[in-house]
Amino acid sequence: MSRVGQSPIPIPDGVEVNVADDRCTAKGALGERSFTFAEDVTVAVEEGRIVISPRDDSLRARKLWGTTRSLIDSLVTGVAQGFARHLHINGVGYRARMEGEELVLQLGYSHEIRYSALDGVTIQCPEPNRIAVNGPDKQRVGQVAAEIRAFRPPEPYKGKGIKYADEEVLRKEGKKK
Residue 122, domain extent: 83-164
Looking at the fold, whether 159 and 89 belong to one and the same domain comes out as yes
Looking at the fold, whether 8 and 74 belong to one and the same domain comes out as yes
Looking at the fold, whether 111 and 137 belong to one and the same domain comes out as yes
Write down which residue in 80, 102, 125 finishes a domain.
80
Looking at the fold, whether 89 and 115 belong to one and the same domain comes out as yes
Q: What is the CB neighbour count within 10 angstroms for residue 8?
A: 18
pLDDT digits (tens, 9 = 90+) for 29-49: 999 999 999 999 999 999 999
Q: Residue 1: its pLDDT value, please?
A: 56
Looking at the fold, whether 131 and 107 belong to one and the same domain comes out as yes
**pTM of the shown model:** 0.89
Looking at the fold, whether 94 and 72 belong to one and the same domain comes out as no
- For residue 73, being part of any structural domain is answered with yes
- Can you give the CATH number for the domain in which 160 is found? 3.90.930.12
- For residue 174, being part of any structural domain is answered with no
List the one residue out of 82, 89, 84 whose CA is nearest residue 149. 89
Quote the CA–CA distance of 167 and 149 in Å, as a whole number.
Answer: 11
Q: Residue 127: its pLDDT value, please?
A: 95
- For residue 111, being part of any structural domain is answered with yes
Write down which residue in 62, 80, 98 finishes a domain.
80
Looking at the fold, whether 73 and 87 belong to one and the same domain comes out as no
Count of structural domains within the chain: 2
Looking at the fold, whether 94 and 136 belong to one and the same domain comes out as yes
pLDDT digits (tens, 9 = 90+) for 51-60: 999 999 999 9
Mean pLDDT of the region 141-168: 95
For residue 71, give the H/E element and its range.
Answer: helix 59-80
